[in-house]
Amino acid sequence: MAKSRPLPTTGALTGIFETLSFFSDPSFARRRFERLGNVFETSMLGQSMVFIQGDQAIADLLSQPEAVEGWWPESVRQLLGSHSLANLNGAAHKARRRVVAQLFTSLALQRYVPGIINLIDELAQELKAAQSPVSLAERMRRFAFSVITTTVLGLEGNDREKLFSDFEVWTKALFSIPISLPGSPFAKALKARKRLLEKLQKILNQPVNGKGGLDLLAGGLDEAGIPFADEDLGEQLLLLLFAGYETTASSLTCLMRELLLNPQIETWLREELDTLDWPPTPKQATMIYDPSKAPRLDALVKEVMRFTPPVGGFFRRTKQSLVLDGILVPNNRVVQVALIASNRNGIGDLDIFRPQRHLENDCSLNLIPFGGGERVCLGKALAELEIRLMVVGLFRKLRLEALPEQDFSLRQLPSPSPRDGLLVKLKT
Ligand code: HEM
């Protein structure tokens, strides 16, 4: 093993203060990194946690998959369920990933394109007809939810609405104290989870209706060639709702917020948008807005993911001691890759939103908003597609302005979103 230094620590014991600071102070990790270096340990509610930032520490972590396993906080673990691939490791994780990945191949994405374009057209119509200000954050949540439920799962309006209300209850408790006291958010979320799974089960039991992509799962087999049980598949679908909804909605809302607050960036982007085709054919859609054809759009999306990453950090647990950026991290430690702090750590104007930086020759930023290694986000291509289609479709059709009297600051959890919902109206 390479020569290493001991792990710096904040010295926290109970972790109560650390936990409160983590939830209330957006620069929690950054201040500790400045004091203790790129790898340090603290305690969060009795759980020891190692925070890491920077290319070297992250590359060291992701290049040693045999030394780590996936980890989520107890509340997430219980609400996702024991079959969920997010909670599994090794062969069980790989087998389920292979099945679920069938929903996100390039052919599957092509199938979803017309549905996504319809949702964007409907939203543009609604915004044009609106008599009063509209919350763009709320519309982006609905959109991201509909993409998964309608285009991926193939649900009709009524079934979708029923799922939405339970889902909102379930999401609220994902990062909460996992004690099921009667009436607590966690207890309500456990009940909502049960109802959600029953509904997802029904969907899986229905004959394939040709809508959505569920027929692509029909060949889902485990290592021994035996189809997964419905209960198992139901938990994978629940994971897709969790993983793909809040995250995509957040990146879309933060992107719109930056364009509305920085008209010069909107003007710069529009010069390129005016040259792009809309609507694209399904086949075109997956490549027409790629970096070579739409470099400014690509730079804008990268900058949103850098500046306001939808997932602020992701986790691993060490199965043996390992060295990260020269620091020895012992066995059985939870490691959090701190993306928010990492993305702004370095030389230059990294505290400013400036998409143009990604088009400069000397840009050496190494961004991993979708995680990395064996657990890299399964919905990355779908999220990238949704975001690009929404920006081109919406901005080609209309011009929006934000109401000046509102709080544009971001609440950070579960994903960044403007506190007043980003109220907009058509530009006159
Ligand atoms: C902008 C949107 C999104 C972002 C930033 C994002 C980010 C992430 C991150 C950071 C992880 C953890 C990766 C790791 O541990 O290395 C993850 C995992 C995952 N994501 Fe996403 N995600 C997004 C959208 C989606 C969508 C749309 C879906 C599917 C509908 C999805 C499905 C998943 C799944 C299933 C996992 C678990 C993978 C595993 O444990 O093997 N994500 N995502």
Closest CA to ligand 1's atom 36:
377
pLDDT at 267 over 90: yes
- For 187, residues 6+ apart whose C-beta sits below 8 A from its C-beta are 180, 181
What is the structure's pLDDT at 210?
64
What is the domain class of 16-398 according to CATH?
mainly alpha
What is the structure's pLDDT at 326?
96
299 contacts 359 by C-beta, under 8 angstroms = yes
What is the structure's pLDDT at 171?
84
Q: Which atom of ligand 1 is found nearest the CA of 85?
A: 40
Q: How far is the CA of 401 from the centre of ligand 1 (A)?
A: 31
Residues making up the chain, counted from first to last: 428
Q: What is the pLDDT of residues 90-103, one digit of tens each?
A: 988 998 898 889 88
Q: How far is the CA of 370 from the centre of ligand 1 (A)?
A: 6
pLDDT at 324 over 80: yes
Section 191-211 average pLDDT: 80
What is the structure's pLDDT at 218?
64
What distance lies between CA 180 and its chain's CA centroid?
27
Whether ligand 1 lies within 6 angstroms of the CB of 147 is answered as no
Q: What is the pLDDT of residues 15-47, one digit of tens each?
A: 888 888 888 888 899 999 999 999 999 998 778
Section 155-179 average pLDDT: 80
Whether ligand 1 lies within 6 angstroms of the CB of 400 is answered as no
Q: Where are the alpha helices (DSSP H) in 72-105?
A: 74-80, 90-100
User: In which band, very low, low, confident or very high, does the pLDDT at 209 lie, cut at 50, 70 and 90?
Assistant: low
Whether ligand 1 lies within 6 angstroms of the CB of 282 is answered as no
Q: Which atom of ligand 1 is found nearest the CA of 310?
A: 5
Handedness of CA 102, 368, 341, 144 (dihedral sign): negative
Q: Which atom of ligand 1 is found nearest the CA of 97?
A: 41
What is the structure's pLDDT at 223?
59
**80-94, 165-179, 247-261: which range is least confident on average?**
165-179
Token pair of 130, please?
């609106």
Task: Supply the pTM of this predicted model.
Answer: 0.92
User: In which band, very low, low, confident or very high, does the pLDDT at 227 lie, cut at 50, 70 and 90?
Assistant: low
User: In which band, very low, low, confident or very high, does the pLDDT at 1 lie, cut at 50, 70 and 90?
Assistant: low
pLDDT at 366 over 70: yes
Q: How far is the CA of 244 from the centre of ligand 1 (A)?
A: 7
What is the structure's pLDDT at 166?
87
Token pair of 128, please?
């044009």
Max avg pLDDT among 156-170, 232-246, 330-344: 330-344
More confident residue, 20 or 298: 298
Instruction: Please give the angle made by the CA atoms of 11, 12 and 18, to the nearest 5 degrees.
Output: 135
What is the structure's pLDDT at 241?
87
User: In which band, very low, low, confident or very high, does the pLDDT at 381 lie, cut at 50, 70 and 90?
Assistant: very high
What is the structure's pLDDT at 40?
96
Section 277-295 average pLDDT: 86
Q: How far is the CA of 369 from the centre of ligand 1 (A)?
A: 9
pLDDT at 174 over 90: no
Whether ligand 1 lies within 6 angstroms of the CB of 97 is answered as yes
Provide long-range contacts, Cβ within 8 A and 24+ apart, for 351-357: 353/258, 353/262, 353/265, 353/303, 353/307, 354/303, 355/265, 355/296, 355/299, 355/300, 355/302, 355/303, 356/268, 356/299, 357/299, 357/303
User: In which band, very low, low, confident or very high, does the pLDDT at 208 lie, cut at 50, 70 and 90?
Assistant: low
pLDDT at 304 over 90: yes
What is the structure's pLDDT at 156?
73
Closest CA to ligand 1's atom 17:
377
pLDDT at 224 over 60: no
